[in-house]
A = this chain, B = another copy of it.
Amino acid sequence: ATPPDAALALAARAEAVLQRPLEIDLALDGAGAPSLIGARPLRLSTRALMRAAARMVADGGLTRDAALMMIEPQAVEELLHPSIDPDAERDVLASGVPASPGAAAGRLCLTAEAAEDCARSGEPAILARFETSPEDVHGMHAAAGVLTLRGGLTSHAAVVARGLGVPCVVGATEARIELIDGAPEEGALVTPDGRRIAPGDWITLDGSAGEALAGALLTRSAPPSGDFATLMGWADARRRLRVRANADTPGELATAVRLGVDGVGLCRTEHMFFDPERITAMREMILADSLDARRAVLERLLPMQRGDFLQIFEIMDGAGPPDGDAPPVTIRLLDPPLHEFLPQEAAGVAALADALGQPVESVRKRARELREFNPMLGKRGCRLGIAYPEIYEMQARAIFEAALDAEARTGRPPHPEIMIPLVSAVSELQLLEGRIAAVAKAVEAERGARVEYGVGIMVETPRAALLADQLAPLSTFFSFGTNDLTQMTYGLSRDDAGKLMRDYVEAEVFEADPFQTLDREGVGALIQLGVERGRAHNPRLDIGLCGEHGASPSTVAFCAEAGFDYVSCSPYRAPIARLAAAQAAIAMDRAAAADAADE
């Protein structure tokens, strides 16, 4: 029976007073008059909670601020991830323990290296291992999903995958992996009924059911519903922090645009060179023994790189408001140590030597020379750009030419921001900025048109934060790279932290994994110092954060409090950051109002 109107009105009043949907106990007297006996918060799925919040605002029982504060930002993620097509036929290849939720489809890879190569070539990878060790972590970072034959909920694979937010199935004990040393492309995942799944075949992981399935069975993620869109609209109106995406490929960019971002905060250019037809040219460039030879290869890479940027500028132009400026696209110049582009195994070295017509020994020698004791602290980032000016000059030229091409097509100039990675000295920035300006001038002279761009730095060494006062006047923006900044501030490599981190978090030596939750006391203190010194010497400095932490609500709150302009995170997490940014603004306004009332 429908409760009488008076009962509904009382319930609505109770919800309005407590500012959240409630489960309410009412008693009706003989005349049908209600009285309230008890009430408790209603446990709802995120989707239902959003619906309730939107309804209560529409009914006038809830403010928009209160509605926004009701939703746990992290919970939004479940609405955005892809899921397995419910109508698909499930051909189970292996079952195990559901160790990290979500679903992923990708090409089967049997080694961390294969997973990395696969991801670099732009295809999702599912990494299947007997078990994982810290040596596999780089492959797990690259993989869309992880499957292991051994281990339980607390195994290395399970812990790392949950940390990464990657679907994972462990302990698929009935399956086997055949792996031929040195030839990972010849192995197989063998199912309990004896079928052999070859590397490169598509498989799908259901991390919630604990199953590996044949084929690619994903549906695209649930389209943001009406209530979701309503709430995100309120969040966007309320937040003061801009939210950008870390996106390198047109695909990632399209996801970002669909889910809503204010621009691109980190476009890594190295991924653009792992495409099979480009990687050989890249390797040839690295192995070139003279400047002229290197220049000749870079000439061939230039149109490819220009094409990448043109695509990116066009997509972002379409995403921006039709009038006004195009959304900014922050492009990071080449960052990783060169040896990452070279094959590590004997077979790969031989194939490369053959392709380039060079002796195997000389390729091996060069690869050996490039090897470093601590690549994280080696010749990478702007140190590469300084050692090989022609690489960054090619990239700058590709950006400028693509910007002019895009403007010719769309009618308005894109807004590229060139980001220089791993700066640790003021003179690095001065030197590179000068070279970039010279390229801009040359392109302008050739094309007879002006290019608009900014140059800024990725603040990821402690020294860049400490020298912010000198770096800020030379920069249009600072983007704090909290991954590396955390590694260097702790003196702890993320790739090597694996088991150590688990022990440390379990023993409560660290309260939380600092690569998951931004360390406010140490890294945060350094960031604050950088923001203060930077702003004091360049009030117009645009300040952002572009690490893995970018979408974590506590990091977003930290950035809002520290006076950041934006955070940048992976496309799927952008809505989380937008909601978290709105909540941070609300919380700060409430605190300010409380302070004002106190006085």
Pairwise interchain contact B488-A373, C-beta atoms closer than 8 A: no
Flag A423-448 by CB within 8 Å of B: 1 or 0 each: 01101100100000000000000000
A133 beta carbon closer than 8 Å to chain B: yes
Partner of A377 from the list B369, B431, B493 (CB cut-off 8 Å) is B493
Contact A377 B492 (CB under 8 A): yes
Contact yes or no, A489 B461, CB < 8 A: yes
In the bound complex, do residue B493 and residue A372 qualify as a contact, i.e. CB atoms below 8 Å apart? yes
Which B residues lie within 8 Å of A428 (CB)?
509
A490 touching B461 by the CB < 8 A rule? yes
- A487 lies within 8 A of B377 (CB): yes
A507-541: which have CB < 8 Å to B?
A: 507-510, 519, 521-523, 525-526
Copies in the complex: 2
Distance between Cα atoms of A525 and B138 in the complex (Å): 34
Cβ contact within 8 Å between B507 and A489: no
A503 at the interface (CB under 8 A from B): yes
Contacting B at CB under 8 A, from A434-487, are: 460-463, 466-467, 470, 484, 487
Q: A377 to B533: give the CA distance in the assembly, Å.
A: 28
Distance from A13 Cβ to chain B, minimum over Cβ atoms (Å): 48
Contact A460 B491 (CB under 8 A): yes
A492–B466 alpha-carbon span in the complex (Å)? 16
Q: Is residue A379 within 8 Å, beta carbon to beta carbon, of the partner chain? A: yes
A372 to B369, CA, bound (A): 19
Pick the residue among B369, B489, B510 that contacts A462 (CB under 8 A): B489
Q: Inside 8 A of A490's CB, which chain B residues have their CB?
A: 424, 461, 463
Specify which chain B residues have a CB less than 8 angstroms from the CB of A523 in the assembled complex. Answer: 463
Asked if B376 contacts A377 (CB within 8 A), the reply is yes
CA distance A492 to B382 in the complex (A): 12
CB distance from A430 to the nearest CB of B (A): 9
> Complex Cα distance A428/B510, Å?
9
Contact A427 B509, beta carbon cutoff 8 Å: yes
A466 and B522 contacting across the interface, CB-CB below 8 Å = yes
Q: Are the CB atoms of B378 and A496 closer together than 8 Å? A: yes
CB distance from A294 to the nearest CB of B (A): 16
Let me know if A371 is at the binding interface, CB within 8 A. Answer: yes
Q: How far is the CB of A31 from chain B (nearest CB, A)?
A: 63
Q: Is A196 an interface residue (CB 8 A)?
A: no
Docked complex Cα distance between A507 and B431 (Å): 10
A491 partner, pick from B377, B470, B510, B521, beta carbons under 8 A: B377
Q: Does A412 contact B (CB under 8 A)?
A: no
Set of chain B residues within 8 Å of A597, measured between Cβ atoms:
none
- A373 CB contacts on chain B under 8 angstroms: 138, 375-376, 493, 495-496
User: Which residue on chain B has the smallest CB distance to residue A521?
Assistant: B467
Chain B minimum-CB-distance residue to A470: B521
Q: Which residues of chain B are near A172, meaning CB under 8 Å?
A: none
A422 interfacial by beta-carbon distance below 8 Å: yes
For A371, what are the chain B residues with a Cβ–Cβ distance below 8 Å? 135
Q: Is B484 a contact of A491 with CB atoms below 8 Å?
A: yes
Shortest CB distance A88–B (Å): 36
Query: How far is it, in angstroms, between the C-alpha of A487 and the C-alpha of B378 when the chains are bound?
Result: 10
Within 8 A of B (CB), among A527-558: none
- How many angstroms between the C-alpha atoms of A507 and B428 in the bound complex? 10
In the complex, what residues of B have CB within 8 A of residue A369's CB? 133, 135
- The smallest C-beta distance from A57 to any residue of chain B, in angstroms, reads 43
Contact partners of A460 in chain B: CB under 8 A: 491
- Decide if A596 is an interface residue (CB 8 Å cutoff): no
Q: B379 contacts A496, CB within 8 Å? A: yes
Q: Which B residues are CB-close (under 8 A) to A519?
A: 463
Name, among A381, A489, A508, the residue most crowded by chain B CB atoms within 10 Å (CB to CB). Answer: A489
Q: Which chain B positions have C-beta within 8 A of A466?
A: 489, 521-522, 525-526
Min Cβ gap A120→B in Å is 17
Give A351-405 interface residues, CB cut-off 8 Å to B: 368-369, 371-379, 381, 383, 386-387
**Residues of chain B with a CB closer than 8 A to A521's CB:** 466-467, 470
Q: Is A180 an interface residue (CB 8 A)?
A: no
Contacts of A424 in B (CB 8 A): 489-492, 522
Say whether A461 contacts B491, CB under 8 Å. Answer: yes
- Best-buried of A133, A375, A522 by chain B (most CB within 10 Å): A522
Asked if A500 is at the interface (CB within 8 A of a chain B CB), the reply is yes
- Alpha-carbon distance between A488 and B509 when the two chains are bound, in angstroms: 21
- Contact of B500 with A462 in the complex, beta carbons under 8 Å: no
* B residues less than 8 Å from A376 (CB atoms): 373-374, 376-377, 491, 493
Q: Which residue from chain B places its CB closest to the CB of A524 in the assembled complex? A: B466
How distant is the Cα of A379 from the Cα of B373 in the complex, in angstroms?
15
Given known A467-B522, A522-B462, contact A493–B374 (CB-CB < 8 A): yes
Closest chain B CB from A501 CB (angstroms): 10
The 16 sampled A-B contact pairs (Cβ below 8 Å) are A133-B369, A138-B373, A373-B495, A376-B493, A387-B500, A387-B503, A424-B490, A425-B510, A427-B508, A460-B491, A462-B522, A463-B491, A463-B523, A466-B521, A467-B521, A488-B488
Q: A134-B372, A377-B496, A424-B522 are in contact. List 13 more A-B contacts (CB 8 A).
A: A135-B369, A372-B496, A373-B376, A374-B496, A377-B377, A386-B503, A386-B504, A387-B500, A427-B508, A462-B462, A463-B490, A463-B523, A466-B526
